[in-house]
Amino acid sequence: MESTIVMINLFGAVALLLFGLAQVRDGATRAFGARLRTGLASGTRGSFRSFSSGFIATIVLQSSTATALMVASFVERDLVAPAMAQIVLLGANVGTAVTAWIVSTGIEWLSPLIILVGIVLYRRSSTAQKGMGTALVGVGLMLLSLQLLGLATGPIRHSPALAAFIELLDNAWVVAMIFAAVLAALSSSSLAVVVLIMSIASTGALSPGLTVALVLGANLGGAVPPVLSTLSAPATTRRVTYGNLIVRAAGCLITLPLAGYLGTFLHDLPFSPAKMPVDAHLAFNLLLAAVAWPLSPVLSRMMTRIVPDDPKGDDGPKFLDVQALESPVVALANATREVLGIGDLIEKMLIQCQKSFAQNDLAPMREVAALEKKVDRLQQEVKIYLSRLGRAKIDQANDRRSIVIIEYAINLEHIGDIIEKGLNDQVTKKISKGLTFSEDGYQELKSLFDMTIDNLRIAQTIFVTGDEALARQLMEVKVHVRRLEKQSSGRHLERLRDGRADSLQTSSLHLDMLRDLKRINAHIVSVAHPILDESGLLIESRLRS
């Protein structure tokens, strides 16, 4: 019975520690999230800056897993080189170890004060202050959990069952390492397991060698959650998380046979024996970083062989031939063909929404979300492809053409967002709630839907041909769409004044759909701007002179 109570107290204290860690991560993300992501992406141009970025991000987020997933996503988008990503994760590992060392310095008595300050900040109106408050409350709960862990581990030296279990682990360091790795993987936190080991070690129940073996297991298990989170991710992402796991596993396997010697060495140092687990944790990660840092390019090449490229599917670009980058004219033609394909996807999304709207059937819209993701991916690929041309390789005319292609791709991507997050939701609401537009309102929206699809087809032609007459025609259509939207809104308000029940039920939907179709047409018409601007036919302002 006593052993059961001890285990409940232990796991309760660990649960509080994990909750505190989650609060710190959520609060720091809210307060510094955008700056952290920007800093992590821009701070990886050199080895030392990469290591520092990973270290700082993990200290702030209190999660090497979060840092690993963030940097892996940057690698997928070609924002961070794979070799630099591995160095970032070495810095993240050291950041976790330093955090464990800091919380073990005996500052638990500050817990109530930190929680009080955190609550005061959380009650402020600023989002950044609320985030800081949440993070400080998390830090206070972490320190409080250390006090509870100390109280929970007190009876361990008097518990025969736990003593027998620890003795069993002391005779099988491999099992001990695996046991700690499983705990770290299940809790998604090597820090929590290291702190738990420190609490048990403070009772004198663990030998130095067993302590080191358990710390190695915590390090190994801490690399597992990022791998599990990226199992279905692209190959570029998986290479980063798998490489981190391989580095940690290799370090643990090399160090485990020396655990006894390392434990004795650390135990004999003039430091507190109770803090030996965090000392071992920090020493291991510093040594691992020193050894693996110079080998990061080799590891990156090795991971390319271990994790092959994803098979080319229908979702990838079809015309972005890398070999054609040597010839700017051909590369621009390839990018133009790819963007035309994006326009075709947008047309399909519009048609599916129109079908659902007209037929009161949700089925046609089920592929809209997948099409929008494909649009996002392709426009990103086009931007990366054209950025690789470089200014030195193309003349002024081709440079202008590349900008036109990128701007049109971005506008198409914005249209996809409006369809998915705007029209898609509005049509779904109409169908799911059984709402019916007035006959006049329905015809007005249907006409605007048809006109929008026709305008997109004209824009596709203008994008390829650069026809000035068509561009002028499309600009005139923009004025017509604006006039239609204003007239439809006016007629809708007249129907509301007449007390039409069908108009009352669909009022917000009608106006929202008008607004979104008008926004889509504005993005479509933008394809004509460069042509008319170059011809001197476009003025900067609609204000009368």
pLDDT in tens, 349-394: 999 998 888 888 888 888 888 899 899 989 988 988 888 876 556 7
Instruction: Choose from 8-22, 184-198, 518-532 the range with maximum mean pLDDT.
Output: 518-532
Provide the mean pLDDT of the chain.
81
| pLDDT value at residue 491 | 67
User: Which residue type, as a one-letter code, is found at position 56?
Assistant: I
| pLDDT value at residue 146 | 74
Q: How far apart are CA 482 and CA 195, in angstroms?
A: 64
Backbone angles phi, psi at 297, to 5 degrees: -65, -40
pLDDT band at 100 (very low <50, low <70, confident <90, very high): confident
The mean per-residue pLDDT over the stretch 318-329 comes to 83
Which two structure tokens, joined as six digits, stand for 54?
């990973």
The mean per-residue pLDDT over the stretch 515-525 comes to 89
Which two structure tokens, joined as six digits, stand for 445?
């929206």
Asked if pLDDT for residue 406 goes beyond 80, the answer is yes
| pLDDT value at residue 495 | 63
The CATH 1.20.58.220 domain(s) of the chain lie at 324-534
Q: What is the CATH number of domain 324-534?
A: 1.20.58.220
Burial class (CB within 10 angstroms; exposed 0-12, middle 13-18, buried 19+) of 238: buried
Asked if pLDDT for residue 411 goes beyond 60, the answer is yes
pLDDT in tens, 483-502: 777 777 776 676 666 665 55
Query: Dihedral angle at the C-alpha atoms of 474, 475, 478, 480, nearest 10 degrees?
Result: -80
CB atoms within 10 A of CB 354: 20
pLDDT band at 226 (very low <50, low <70, confident <90, very high): confident
Contact 62, 222 (CB under 8 A): no
| pLDDT value at residue 42 | 61
The mean per-residue pLDDT over the stretch 23-47 comes to 68
Burial class (CB within 10 angstroms; exposed 0-12, middle 13-18, buried 19+) of 545: exposed
pLDDT band at 127 (very low <50, low <70, confident <90, very high): confident
User: Which residue type, as a one-letter code, is found at position 469?
Assistant: A
The mean per-residue pLDDT over the stretch 173-180 comes to 89
Q: How far apart are CA 282 and CA 15, in angstroms?
A: 23
Which two structure tokens, joined as six digits, stand for 183?
């705990």
Q: What percent of the chain has pLDDT over 90?
A: 13
Nearest Cα residue to 495 out of 509, 506, 485: 506
- Classify 310 as helix, strand or coil: coil
CA distance readout (Å), 383 to 149, 251, 413, 463, 464: 52, 40, 12, 16, 18
pLDDT band at 195 (very low <50, low <70, confident <90, very high): confident
